[in-house]
Structure 1
Amino acid sequence: MTRSSPERASVEPFRHVGLFYRDEIEHTSLCAAFLREALALGDPAMVAVPGGGEAIRARLGDDAGGVVFADMAVAGRNPGRIIPSVLLAFAHAHPGRRVWIIGEPIWKGRTELEYPACAAHEALINAAFAGREATILCPYDVTALEEHALADAERTHPILQDAASTWPSPGYTDPVETAALFDEPLPAPPPHAASHTFNGTGGLPGVRAFLADCGAAAGLDERRVGDLLIAMNELATNTAEYTCGPGTVTVWLEDGTLVCQLDDSGLLTDPLAGRIPPPDHTTRGRGLVIVNELADLVRIHHRPSGTSVRLHFDLARTYQGTTGYQP
């Protein structure tokens, strides 16, 4: 494999770089160098890493004042939230300018349940930002992450970097096709799960009543029950309006979370659904964006006969308001 120098320029306005680092010192120094390059050009810069990037802030010193910091473990708890509520929100806050963003969506603390959504997110960044003036650097800890995560990073990033050099990724492939590889079947709900079947818009009040009872019984606080009802009502409304068959809502408790799944006969064909907010003047098309914003994890599986959407609500997290980047 022939590696190019770090100065190798991309022919595309968008650069998506997978950064392989070995320890905290490399992570901090390489991220700080990336940010200083942005600041030297007068471009807006952002850091979204687990914990909020305090070590990077310290490394930057006085330069840190020109950088926006966010805790990816909060803002990106649900990987489906990162593109609309973190990356695009920051880009839209700086129209007509190149943005530089460090985003670390995959770290050792991510669960096997979260991982497919994280990897699909990394692939879809390339589709969401195609043609945009942006540089996004995604750090990967090569000593802590499993080999499959590093191999997937090669598939989802056109450019790779380590402490020594930068090179074109030999494994990079079409982002939509790559994201589809992580559309994995969901584990079956447990036998004790409660379920409710509805049909048409007339069944929506019954869905909301069923979910309100389930949320309260699980111990969600009042505002989080509200999040649950808004998110699931968006999904159920889509089922009622756009499919010709019934929908089924299934609810259960699992590892400290309330899990809600909606199964219907609808086919979700847009791979970026829920990740690209519609224009401000548009009143429709926000359903999955809202769902991604409110739930702690969203998994979507396309079945041959329809779609399953599974939402997780952490029982330990109280209402905290908007979790994304706020300009």
Structure 2
Amino acid sequence: MVYSTRREFAAAAVPHLREGLAEGDAVVAVVAPAAERLLRRQLGSAASRSVEFIEAGSWFTGPMDALAAYQDRSRRDWWPVGRLRLLAEPVWTGRSELEVCEWKRHEALLNVAFAGTPTLLMCAYDAASLPAHVITDAARTHPDVVDDRGPRPSGRYVDPAVFYAECNARPLSAPPRDAAWRRFAAGGLAGLRAFLAAEAERLGLPADRSLPFVLAVNEVATTVIRHGGGRGLLWVWAEGGELLCDVGDPEGRLEDRFLGCFPPRHYKPGETAMWAVRRLCHIVEIRSGPGGTRVRMHLRLADAAAGPDDRAG
């Protein structure tokens, strides 16, 4: 749903929610506080009490956090009721270029996550404030569009696998020259974990985030040793408010088709490991080709919660 004014937002969102209430759906709105106030006024007190409102800033903390939360809440709370009728407005402001790319990828992945489930999802985009490229790609990640001309097929929708691969087209930059580095192989993981913990402390990662960082890197290194080339090289550094770690496998290849983006349905070492790694990190980038594989893990050095947002308010 693309809108430019509060009236356009309400004209599309309110009927979507009312229809869900009338049909007995689990009706959920993940929106900013201002949008919640608007929707409650339009729906009326009786109807609004039947809608579960979730504050967008606390939900959209990271692409994998949001994707996992959708899956967890749907299975536990929403699908047991019946069909899920969802309205969501992602938070785009205050994001880095990489984060915007990952949130676009997240929007494409929702088509895979909800495929074959009793779900009707409407995503809201504010054309008056968002960059043009975000609106353009929304038409590529959503099969249908609703705007002031009404609902219609997007006409520009692409397969989520294609969009996912496009997000990997940009090569990873080289680690900075002053990045700490270490080689690893079988039998050396204990020393590697000690090295990672020391670097995390030196670079300012809060103590309560050190263990998730060490576990994530250890999972990738273990995968390299057991299922990749058997040895690798890693770099650790801080940049742009994040702790970054590259794990390079010069010989191994990873088939990165949604790797680790969804809970593995059957035990597969690569999928299971990368699902855990993506849950432990803010963003994970994977590049794999004839020259080997590199996995870059991002962890925030400090909280970066989304601030107040007045869209649709």
TM-score scaled to structure 2, two decimals?
A: 0.84
**After the TM superposition, which residues 268-279 of structure 1 pair with which residues of structure 2 at under 5 Å, given as runs?**
268-279=254-265
Q: Equivalents in 1 of 2:290, 2:87: separation in Å?
A: 37
Residue 300 of structure 1: how far off its partner (Å):
2.5
- For 2:20, the equivalent position in structure 1 comes to 38
Q: Equivalents in 2 of 1:230, 1:315: separation in Å?
A: 16
**After the TM superposition, which residues 208-247 of structure 1 pair with which residues of structure 2 at under 5 Å, given as runs?**
208-247=193-232
SS in 2 for 1:89: helix
Amino acid at match of 1:66: S
Q: Equivalents in 1 of 2:207, 2:255: separation in Å?
A: 34
**Residues 54, 246 of structure 1: alpha-carbon distance in 2 compared, 3 angstrom cutoff:** same
- For 1:323, the equivalent position in structure 2 comes to none
Q: Equivalents in 1 of 2:259, 2:231: separation in Å?
A: 22
| Greater mean deviation of Cα atoms: 32-41 or 206-215 | 32-41
Residue 68 of structure 1: how far off its partner (Å):
3.2
Answer whether contact 1:231 1:290 (CA < 8 A) is retained.
Answer: yes
Amino acid at match of 1:128: A
Answer whether contact 2:88 2:122 (CA < 8 A) is retained.
Answer: yes
1:141 aligns with 2:141: no
- For 1:9, the equivalent position in structure 2 comes to none
Amino acid at match of 2:71: L
Q: Equivalents in 2 of 1:65, 1:286: separation in Å?
A: 39
Answer whether contact 1:78 1:298 (CA < 8 A) is retained.
Answer: no
- For 1:88, the equivalent position in structure 2 comes to 71
**Residues 157, 191 of structure 1: alpha-carbon distance in 2 compared, 3 angstrom cutoff:** same
CA displacement 1:186-238 (0-9 Å, x = unmatched) = 222222111112113x1211221111011111222222111111222222221
- For 1:177, the equivalent position in structure 2 comes to 162
1:48 aligns with 2:34: no
- For 1:286, the equivalent position in structure 2 comes to 272
1:132 aligns with 2:122: no
1:299 aligns with 2:285: yes
Structure 2: unaligned runs, 5 residues or longer: 305-313
- For 1:122, the equivalent position in structure 2 comes to 107
- For 1:108, the equivalent position in structure 2 comes to 93
Residue 24 of structure 1: how far off its partner (Å):
4.5
Q: Equivalents in 1 of 2:26, 2:292: separation in Å?
A: 42
**After the TM superposition, which residues 11-90 of structure 1 pair with which residues of structure 2 at under 5 Å, given as runs?**
19-27=1-9, 30-49=12-31, 54-55=36-37, 58-59=40-41, 60=43, 61-83=45-67, 85-90=68-73
Q: Select which of 236, 243, 248 maps to 1:258.
A: 243
Amino acid at match of 2:184: F
SS in 2 for 1:192: coil
CA displacement 1:111-136 (0-9 Å, x = unmatched) = 21112222222222222322222111
Answer whether contact 1:48 1:72 (CA < 8 A) is retained.
Answer: yes
Amino acid at match of 2:254: L
Q: Equivalents in 1 of 2:146, 2:287: separation in Å?
A: 32
CA displacement 1:122-156 (0-9 Å, x = unmatched) = 22222232222211111112122222222211111
Amino acid at match of 2:182: H
Residue 166 of structure 1: how far off its partner (Å):
0.6
Answer whether contact 2:57 2:91 (CA < 8 A) is retained.
Answer: no
Q: Equivalents in 2 of 1:260, 1:72: separation in Å?
A: 29
- For 1:6, the equivalent position in structure 2 comes to none
Alignment coverage as a number of residue pairs:
297
**Residues 291, 25 of structure 1: alpha-carbon distance in 2 compared, 3 angstrom cutoff:** farther
SS in 2 for 1:259: strand
Answer whether contact 1:87 1:101 (CA < 8 A) is retained.
Answer: no
Answer whether contact 2:261 2:275 (CA < 8 A) is retained.
Answer: yes
Amino acid at match of 2:89: E
Amino acid at match of 1:221: P
Q: Select which of 215, 225, 248 maps to 2:233.
A: 248
- For 2:309, the equivalent position in structure 1 comes to none
Residue 80 of structure 1: how far off its partner (Å):
2.9
SS in 1 for 2:125: strand
| Greater mean deviation of Cα atoms: 169-178 or 94-103 | 94-103
CA RMSD after TM alignment: 2.6
Q: Select which of 130, 133, 158 maps to 2:143.
A: 158
Structure 1: unaligned runs, 5 residues or longer: 1-18, 319-327
